[in-house]
Structure 1
Amino acid sequence: MGMKKLFIFLGLFLLVSFQSAAQEILPAPQMVLPVDCEIGWNCWIANYVDHDKSEGAADYTCGHETYDKHKGTDFLIRNRREMLGGVSVRAAADGVVLGVRDGMKDIDYRKRKMDFIAKKECGNGIRIKHENGWVTQYCHLRKNSVKVKKGEKVHMGDIIGFVGNSGFTMYPHLHFQVEYIEPKSGARSGAIVDPFVGVARNDLCGVGDKPLWPPLVMEKLDYKQASIIDSGFAATQPKLDGIVEGLYDDETLSIRSPQLILWARILHVKKGDKVTFTIFDPEEKEIFSYTSTIDKDQAHRSLHAGLRSPGILWDEGAYRGEVKLLRPTDGTNGGIYTSEATIYMR
C-alpha cells in the first residue's frame, strides 16, 4: 500500500533509527492476527515493511517482498467476491480508537482521479492506541464496514471492520501498520515497527529477538518466496479484472465451450521462473502442457494457457488443472510452488 497518513501524520523513522535505544522502549502488547483468514489458503502476505532506508527496498528477511517506504504488512485476500462476502478485520490488541474514516468507495485507484484519494491514501481506516505508546493502524477497509468510533474501547480480537479496496490500492487487502510513540513525548506520530522484528534483533536479516506476533501466530506466517494465490478454468481468455472480481470461479462449464483455459494469479514472480500449465481429462490423461518462462520480476502476475475444443463437444466429466512454478535455486533460494483446480464439463 502506498499510504501517507490517516488522521495522524506518520513519522518517517524506521525501526533501525531507535534500535540502539531498544532498552528504553516500553513493552509491546502481544498481538493477534488482524484479519480473519487462513494464511496460504484464502489470504496471503503481499508486502512487508521496508527496512531499506535508501531508495531500494528490503523486507525483514533481506528479501524483496516489499517496496520503497512501505510501512506495514499487507494481507491480500483472493478477490472482490470474497471481499463482498465479508472478511473480518480484528483489533490486534486491547486499546482505544484514536480515529476512523469510512465512506470511501472500494475501487482500484488507477480507475479514479488521484484528487479523490489525495491525503486519504489509507482509505477507510482505523487507528488504535494501545498501552505503553503502541499504536496500530488498519487501512483499505470496505465501504461502510467500520464498526467502531473515536474514543471507543476495543478488546483484542474484536471485529472492527471488513477488508476492502478503498484508498490507494489496486486489490482488496488489509494494510496493517504498527508504530511506537514515546508516551511522554506528546508526539502524534512515531517510529514504524515491523511486527516480525520488534524493536531489536541480533542479525541483520530474519525474525527479531522479540517479534510482536506471539509464537502461535508466527507459526502461521512462514515467509514465502512466491505464492500461487488463485487458479481456475475459463471458457475464454480470462482478463485480470475478471479474476480480481472473482468472475472465473465457476465449478462447471458447458461441454460446448470453445476453449478450456487454465489460469493462475501469482505473487512475487522472478525473472527465470518457469510456470507450467497441465490439463488432465476425466480419465486423468494429460491432454495439454505448456511452460512459460518469466521475463522480469513482478510483485503480481496473472498467466493462462489452454486448448481449443477437440471437436463439437468436450467429453463430460471432471477436468483437472495443475499450475507449477519452478524457481531455479541459487544455493539459498529456489523451490517448487503448485496449485490445482478442477472444472466439471456438462
Structure 2
Amino acid sequence: MKKMTFREVIAAAMSEEMRKDKTIYLMGEEVAEYNGAYKASKGMLKEFGSKRIIDTPISELGFSGIGIGSALNGCRPIIEYMTFNFSLVAMDQIINNAAKIRQMSGGQWKIPIVFRGPTGFAGQLGATHSQSFESWYANCPGLKIVIPSNPYDAKGLLKSSIRDNDVVIFMESEQMYGDKMMIPIKEYTIPLGIANLKKKGNDLTIVSFGKIIKIALEVALELEKKNISIEIIDLRTIKPLDYNTIINSIKKTNKLLILEEAWPFASIASEITYVIQQEAFDYLDAPIKRITVQDTPAPYAKNLIEKWYPSKKDLIENIMNIIYSQE
C-alpha cells in the first residue's frame, strides 16, 4: 500500500494504462508543460513525450473533435477539460458525435474515449465555474457518467473508463485533488455501473456521489451517538446507475434521502425518486427527500454560499424529519 493524493492516482491510472497501450494519449489545456492545471498529469510529458501528452489551444470544441476523430481511427484518447464548465463549448461534439456514432453506424464504429476534468462547486469561483452537469450528460444515451468520491475509487474507475469501448464522462473535483488515501501498489480496477455500500445502517438510506458524500459520512458518524443508524450508498457511476443496490437498501431501512450538489430541477435525485417509487414504493415508510444546491446560479459571497450549498445542518434536519415523522 502507498499513501497517494487524488491527483496522484489520476496521473498513475493514466500512466499505467498508457504504458500498456500505445494508442492511449492525453490531450487538453496545460496538461503537458504545466503538468496539468491541477497537477493531475505531473511527470507524464517527461515519460511519454509531446506526441502522447498534448497541450492544446483554448478551443474545447476543436480538440474534443480531434479526440473523437482519432478514436474512430483506432486511438483511445483521454480529453481533459480544465473544468467541465468549459465542456459546454464542446457539447456539440460530445452529444451529436461521440454519443451517437456507434448507433448511427450500426455498431461498426466504437468510440473509446474518456472526457475528464473537475466538476461542481469548488469555493469562491463564481457562477460560471461552480456548476454540476452530470444530469445533463446522463440525459444523453450513449454516454457513461462516472464521479468518484475518493482516491481509491478514482484510480480503479478511471482505469476501467479508459479500457471501456464507449464514451465515458469522468468527473472529478478541485476540492478532492489533495485528498489522501492508502492505495494498493498492485493493479486493480473497479467496474462501471456498480455502487458502493460505504456504510451499513438500519434507520435510513442516504444515496450520494462525488465529494459531497463526505458530508453524509460525517453526519452518519455524529448521529450514531444518538443511536440513529444511517446506511450510505456511493453511486460512483451515474450512468449506468445501480438501482438494485438502492432498492435492496430501502427494503431494509424503508427510508431514502438523496444528497447531491446539482440544481434540483431534473436532477439525478429526481430520476432516482421516480424509479424507486415505481419499483420499491411498498417498502417506503416515508416520502423520499432530496437535498441539492439552491435553484440559483452559484453565489460568490461566502455568506450566500452557506445558504446555497447543502450543509451538515440541512442534512441532519431532513434526516430527523424523515425518521420522526413516523412517530
On whether the aligned pair clears a TM of 0.5, the verdict is: no
Q: What TM bracket, shorter-length normalisation?
A: under 0.3
TM-score (norm 2): 0.25
Greater strand share, 1 or 2?
1
Q: TM-score, normalised by structure 1?
A: 0.24
